[in-house]
Amino acid sequence: MRRLQLETRTELRAPASKVFDFVADHTNAPRWQSGIDEIRRITPGPIGVGTEHELTRRFAGMKVVARNRFIAYEPDRFVAFEIPSGKMTGVASYLIEPTGANTCRLISNVDFQVAGLARFAIPLLTLIFKRDDEKALATLKVLLERP
C-alpha cells in the first residue's frame, strides 16, 4: 500500500459555525463535491463521534461505494472521519478556524492508503484529488458566502 496525502485551505466570508454545520453534515456533500452521486446517514441520532454514512462516488473513472465513520467531532471546529475499507482507506478531516466575526478558514486534510494497482498511480490520483478539492471549495464558497 502507498499513501495519498493532501491538505487544502480556503478563506470563507461566512461564520465558522455556519461552515462547520454545512461540511460536518455529509448529506450536503453532493451539493458541493463533484463526483458524489449519493450519500446517506446510516446511524440515527445527532451528528457526532460514531456517525456513519454510505456514499456512492465517481473517482478517476471508477464508481466507488464506501462507508465513512466520524472518529472525532468538536462542534463548530473539527470533524474527522475514516473510510475503514475499500480500495482507498484512511482518514479525512475538516478544521474550521474563525478569522473574524463572519469569516473563517477551512482546512481540509486527506490521508489515504491506496491498495491494488491504483497504488502505482499515486501522483496522478493526488492531482485528481487536488483538482476535485479545489473545485469543491470554490463551489462551497459560492454556496456559503451568499447573503
pLDDT digit string, tens, across residues 40-51: 999 999 999 999
pLDDT digit string, tens, across residues 66-112: 899 999 999 999 999 998 887 778 999 999 999 999 999 999 999 98
**pLDDT given for residue 118 in this prediction:** 62
pTM score, whole prediction: 0.88
Q: Which of 10, 76, 88 is nearest to 48 (CA)?
A: 76
> Are the C-beta atoms of 11 and 108 separated by less than 8 Å?
no
Domains in the chain, please, with CATH? 2-144 (3.30.530.20)
